[in-house]
Structure 1
Amino acid sequence: MNEKNLVAKVLFDALSGDLTLEQIEKLLEKPKSSELGDIAFPAFSLAKTRRKAPQIIAQEIVENIDTTGFEKVLATGPYINFFLDKPLVATNVINEIVEKENFYADQAIGNGTNVTIDMSSPNIAKPFSIGHLRSTVIGDSLANIYQKIGYNPVRINHLGDWGKQFGMLITAYKLWGDEKAVQAHPIDELLKLYVRINAEAETNPQLDEDARAWFRKLEDGDKEALALWKWFRDESLLEFKRIYDKLGVDFDSYNGEAFYNDKMSEILDILGAKNLLKESEGATIVDLEKYNLNPALIKKSDGATLYITRDLAAALYRKRTYDFAKSLYVVGGEQTGHFKQLKAVLTEMGYDWAKDIEHVPFGLVTRDGKKLSTRKGNIIRLEPTIDEAVERALKQINDKNPDLTNKENVAHQVGTGAIKFYDLKTDRTNGYDFNLEEMVSFEGETGPYVQYAHARIRSILRKANYQAQANLTISANDAESWEIVKLLQSFPDIIKRAADKYEPSIIAKYAISLAQAFNKYYAHVRILEENEGLQSRLALANATAIVLKESLRLLGVQAPEEM
């Protein structure tokens, strides 16, 4: 039971049914100053029903409160201020963490049901850029978070391996391509061709028509078109998998758009059987006016299918295959309208599980304030960026700890962790400007800062030859240690909130706060001083390291033992 639950329960018993437990919890506040206690309850909401001044109500309630588990409970004006029994809370929290270690804060909310997570999903034959990073790391972190609360995450990489862009690419390759050059540097050469044809198509409409013709051939199973498409796809996947290995991200499925080619006819049959299809200017649509949405364009006038047709097929396939409790789509905010249409069409088709689909949007990554674009060749390629981040981390490690063993491995953990953490600490719906120097800094609100705090604690524990002990009595009477205890106690709620809001930044910000709290404690307390409080201080440090490491793991970031 956390501190809010404890206070709410005590108040519920004292209020004799005036408010529900849930209502009480929502009213609880954190006082502006620790001198006013740890949790406060404002009595204003009871003034109307009790017909008394809030300060009188507060005083009356305090007289009925069971103060077990509290240092004291005071009425201060219209507020009831609760001062927790610090040694009792600290002892319970620290012992639980030391006993459970990485299983601390595990929850059984999901009961082993599946959550499908559509994430990363880069386009074939294009370089893996920073623009793909957000979906990849947000999706991976959400998978970790949902596993922590009892779900079974299914990571799906819905590759962009179909569509008119392949008509563009085949047209460009037929006009200007060099087989040997593509074999030597596939992604680089394919990118050059893609950028060139998009630039030239702006003044030469025939190229656009040729691209459409080649894509129709591809859809019709033309051997040459299929062979080129498969070549482009295979080469791209080799590069993507190498980058995923560097990021430490893997997938349960690589089924992309092409996988659903033979599954769309069923969708069209269902839509037709339910009389949902309408003709509009030669195209086939589903009218969504009652949802205040634009019509969903199911087939173009030339018969070509669209994203939504494939996403309908994908949604049905995933429900049948995984029977998901939730289906998350970690896709940029610009696709919000598309996912509203997807849910609306599925609802019209009679699938009540459409309500379990959630679009998890995110903001853009920019460079110098400018939007990145593969089509215009303005991208930041991810693989060389990771390599540079690792080099920067290695330089700082050499400056700080030149004798560190396994420096290269630690530098990889720090460099990749820095990029991922910087992305994840940003509120998901906000974007950010890419700044590698700031990301890899060991100072400030960064991944390396949190990793370094963890490594520092592990160093302290090694110096003390620390061995975890069960059922220790923990004193937490100084302000610095009490702040750590309160943060550690809140970890289960932090995880639940991050899951509810699909927001890994809640955990990243929590990790920063915990690292900062420990560094403040470290600056004020002589942890290794030989006296009766030594084991208590070491247990607090150990519990902090455990939770820091687990916080980082939930973000997909490793926690080196030494730095």
Structure 2
Amino acid sequence: MACAFRRSIACQLSRILALPPESLIKSISAVPVSKKEEVADFQLSVDSLLEDNNHQSKLDTQDHARRLAEKLKCDTVVTAISAGPGTLNFKINRELLTKAVLQQVIEDGSKYGLKSELFSGLPQKKIVVEFSSPNVAKKFHVGHLRSTIIGLLGTGFQLFGYEEKLQSNPLQHLFDVYVQVNKEATDDKNIAKLAHEFFHRLELGDMQALSLWQRFRDLSIEEYIQIYKRLGIYFDEYSGESFYREKSQDVLKLLDSKGLLQKTITGNVVVDLSGTGDLSSVCTVMRSDGTSLYATRDLAAAIDRMDKYNFDSMIYVADKGQKRHFQQVFQILKIMGYEWAERCQHVPFGIVKGMKTRRGDVTFLEDVLNEVQSRMLQNMASIKTTKKMENPQETAERVGLAALIIQDFRGLLLSDYQFSWDRVFQSRGDTGVFLQYTHARLCSLEETFGCGYLNDVNVACLQEPQSVSILQHLLRFDEVLYKSSQDLQPKHIVSYLLTLSHLAAMAHKTLQVKDSPADVAGARLHLFKAVRSVLANGMKLLGIIPVCRM
């Protein structure tokens, strides 16, 4: 596999450069198929080599690469070495490359790419990830809990709620209640006052308010679990901000004991973040009436999670509008003396524009999922090649979700993008539908010809350009996984899988299995099985369940 080839190249280089092979391995990368030099499977950037050696004056990199290439010798692994523009290029023995890659993909299965030397130096870590954070009783919005929402909802249910409707369709009814009370509050200031009082009672531990809120929370979570199940998501723990109501009071006491609280002229309590003591930058942690805020509860949650899990890092996946909030929370944790605040990270995401269902602008996630399933079922029914399947609804939902996920993950998470149903459901091009179609097609190939051919592979039968391109691309999987693990951007995996699907589609047209000699057919089946395995691995990492028929 890639790591064995990298090590072989690194060992050669280490003898010339007097450096340990381990320090060179991460500088040696598989060359992307789209940028392929005719002779290169692997490449070493001479610039990175010079940086690693702390050269005071950089030699001309081209000249340095040429002189290094002259010193290196070919062996049983490396069959050609050349200098490129600032790079050293290495070509691997073709039969060795073919045999090693196919063997490793099949042997490692779902762990292919993760057993690479790129990951071997990384310690096992405990990571807490907070994501999704829908509002309790608000399936219509994925923002964060706000006291106004809580208060309005509690007041609204007391004014406009019906017990039987709450039992039969809880979140829809609570949504209707919220819309009604929100509308009434614009004209009636007394309702806004009642809402504020309800939240205050909740903060003070009033049993009636707490009991009502607990019912909303339990009913909400029940429905969320069903929606998350459709997305293939299962949480280890549900702990909303309301869970930290009492603990937030402990945080306020702790901040006070450290002399970090200051009262403003309006009566609010703040933490000074200016660093100069002039209150030019503050974070409000308590209102004048003594109720806590979003920031207070997040501080309590962070401290509690550290006590509970002793995490190595904690990641908050939340929209980019929360950037300032998380900066302030992390800064306060540092001021409080928690060194582990450095291990907290906000991963921001952008806004999806123009998402509409046939019923109009999207309000409910459930509507989006239903729309995805419905449109995909129609598309599948209209295609003549669609195979009969036991559960077309489930297949349609899985393909549709793949379409949504790939559209969402193709670019930087931070980027906003314009949503398009037509683009999402294209069966050709860089889409999730194309990924699923490729996987299903390769499954069909295995099903048609069986796995009898896969015992003994004649690697000499896989030397066509299409085969070599696929093998070279499979070499890069560990690098792509490593890159995504470092910058927490799924786009690297998406791009890799789309390229692999296109390479497989081209190979499927030219590398016939049917009517080919047995050893050729067997070798090609083995190659396609490896592609399907890596496609499935990559899709699962993105939260996509691969389908075998569509």
* TM-score normalised by the chain length of structure 1: 0.84
* Partner AA of 2:73 in structure 1: D
Q: How does 1:462-481 map to 2 (within 5 A)?
A: 462-467=447-452, 469=454, 472=457, 474-475=459-460, 476-481=462-467
| Counterpart for residue 12 of structure 2 | 10
Does the C-alpha gap of structure 1 residues 128 and 109 become closer, same or farther in structure 2, counting only changes over 3 Å?
farther
The one of 350, 363, 376 aligned to 1:393:
376
The answer to whether structure 1 residue 517 and structure 2 residue 529 are counterparts is no
Q: Secondary structure of the equivalent of 2:328? A: helix
Q: How does 1:152-231 map to 2 (within 5 A)?
A: 163-231=147-215
| Counterpart for residue 34 of structure 1 | 37
Is the 1:38–1:81 Cα contact (8 Å) retained in structure 2?
yes
Is the 2:106–2:530 Cα contact (8 Å) retained in structure 1?
yes
Q: Secondary structure of the equivalent of 1:97? A: helix
Q: 1: distance between equivalents of 2:81 and 2:122?
A: 37
The one of 107, 127, 136 aligned to 1:124:
136
| Counterpart for residue 524 of structure 2 | 537
Q: 2: distance between equivalents of 1:15 and 1:239?
A: 61
Q: Deviations over 1:41-75 (max 9, x none)?
A: 56578698788655544332222113222221124
The answer to whether structure 1 residue 64 and structure 2 residue 66 are counterparts is no
Q: Deviations over 1:264-313 (max 9, x none)?
A: 23222322222222222222222111399931211111111011111111
The alignment of Structure 1 onto Structure 2 pairs a total of residues equal to 528
Q: 1: distance between equivalents of 2:28 and 2:311?
A: 31
Is the 1:98–1:468 Cα contact (8 Å) retained in structure 2?
no
| Counterpart for residue 93 of structure 2 | 85
Does the C-alpha gap of structure 1 residues 470 and 312 become closer, same or farther in structure 2, counting only changes over 3 Å?
farther
Q: 1: distance between equivalents of 2:57 and 2:20?
A: 9
C-alpha displacement of 1:230: 2.5
Q: Secondary structure of the equivalent of 2:275? A: helix
Q: Deviations over 1:156-182 (max 9, x none)?
A: xxxx56723121122233343444444
C-alpha displacement of 1:425: 2.9
The answer to whether structure 1 residue 562 and structure 2 residue 549 are counterparts is yes
The answer to whether structure 1 residue 312 and structure 2 residue 315 are counterparts is no
Please say which of residues 261-270 and 444-453 is displaced more in the overlay.
Answer: 261-270
Please say which of residues 204-213 and 288-297 is displaced more in the overlay.
Answer: 288-297
Does the C-alpha gap of structure 1 residues 473 and 348 become closer, same or farther in structure 2, counting only changes over 3 Å?
farther
Q: Secondary structure of the equivalent of 1:385? A: helix
C-alpha displacement of 1:109: 6.2
| Counterpart for residue 322 of structure 1 | 309
| Counterpart for residue 380 of structure 1 | 363
C-alpha displacement of 1:473: 5.1
Is the 1:8–1:25 Cα contact (8 Å) retained in structure 2?
no
* Partner AA of 2:366 in structure 1: E
RMSD value over aligned CA atoms? 3.2
| Counterpart for residue 288 of structure 2 | 301
* Partner AA of 1:387 in structure 2: N
C-alpha displacement of 1:328: 0.8
Q: 2: distance between equivalents of 1:58 and 1:221?
A: 71
Q: 2: distance between equivalents of 1:26 and 1:93?
A: 17
Please say which of residues 111-120 and 527-536 is displaced more in the overlay.
Answer: 527-536
Q: Secondary structure of the equivalent of 1:303? A: coil
Q: Deviations over 1:133-153 (max 9, x none)?
A: xxxxxxxxxxxxxxxxxxxxx
Identity %: 28
Please say which of residues 328-337 and 204-213 is displaced more in the overlay.
Answer: 204-213
Q: Secondary structure of the equivalent of 1:561? A: coil
Please say which of residues 35-44 and 356-365 is displaced more in the overlay.
Answer: 35-44
* Partner AA of 2:547 in structure 1: P
Does the C-alpha gap of structure 1 residues 237 and 86 become closer, same or farther in structure 2, counting only changes over 3 Å?
same
Q: 2: distance between equivalents of 1:202 and 1:26?
A: 63
C-alpha displacement of 1:216: 1.0
Q: 1: distance between equivalents of 2:280 and 2:313?
A: 23
Is the 1:162–1:257 Cα contact (8 Å) retained in structure 2?
no
C-alpha displacement of 1:22: 5.1
The answer to whether structure 1 residue 526 and structure 2 residue 512 are counterparts is yes
C-alpha displacement of 1:90: 2.1
Of structures 1 and 2, the one scoring higher in RCO (CA 8 A, sep 6+) is 1
C-alpha displacement of 1:341: 1.2
Does the C-alpha gap of structure 1 residues 46 and 179 become closer, same or farther in structure 2, counting only changes over 3 Å?
closer
* Partner AA of 1:423 in structure 2: D
Q: 2: distance between equivalents of 1:293 and 1:250?
A: 43
Q: Secondary structure of the equivalent of 1:457? A: helix
Q: 1: distance between equivalents of 2:405 and 2:535?
A: 16
The one of 307, 323, 333 aligned to 1:346:
333
| Counterpart for residue 537 of structure 2 | 550
| Counterpart for residue 495 of structure 1 | 481
| Counterpart for residue 455 of structure 1 | 440
Please say which of residues 79-88 and 477-486 is displaced more in the overlay.
Answer: 79-88
| Counterpart for residue 245 of structure 2 | 261
Q: Secondary structure of the equivalent of 1:34? A: coil
Q: Which runs of 5+ in 1 are unaligned?
A: 133-159, 370-376
Does the C-alpha gap of structure 1 residues 222 and 482 become closer, same or farther in structure 2, counting only changes over 3 Å?
same
Q: Deviations over 1:170-217 (max 9, x none)?
A: 223334344444444332232233233334444544432221112112
C-alpha displacement of 1:558: 0.9
The one of 309, 331, 347 aligned to 1:360:
347
The answer to whether structure 1 residue 429 and structure 2 residue 437 are counterparts is no
Q: 1: distance between equivalents of 2:489 and 2:44?
A: 28
Q: 2: distance between equivalents of 1:414 and 1:561?
A: 11
Q: 1: distance between equivalents of 2:99 and 2:459?
A: 5
Does the C-alpha gap of structure 1 residues 53 and 350 become closer, same or farther in structure 2, counting only changes over 3 Å?
closer
The one of 73, 82, 92 aligned to 1:74:
82
Q: 1: distance between equivalents of 2:282 and 2:15?
A: 54
| Counterpart for residue 494 of structure 2 | 508
Is the 1:336–1:359 Cα contact (8 Å) retained in structure 2?
yes
Q: 2: distance between equivalents of 1:431 and 1:360?
A: 14
Q: Secondary structure of the equivalent of 2:263? A: strand
Q: 1: distance between equivalents of 2:86 and 2:338?
A: 50
C-alpha displacement of 1:412: 2.9
Does the C-alpha gap of structure 1 residues 341 and 411 become closer, same or farther in structure 2, counting only changes over 3 Å?
same
Is the 1:95–1:471 Cα contact (8 Å) retained in structure 2?
no
C-alpha displacement of 1:13: 3.2
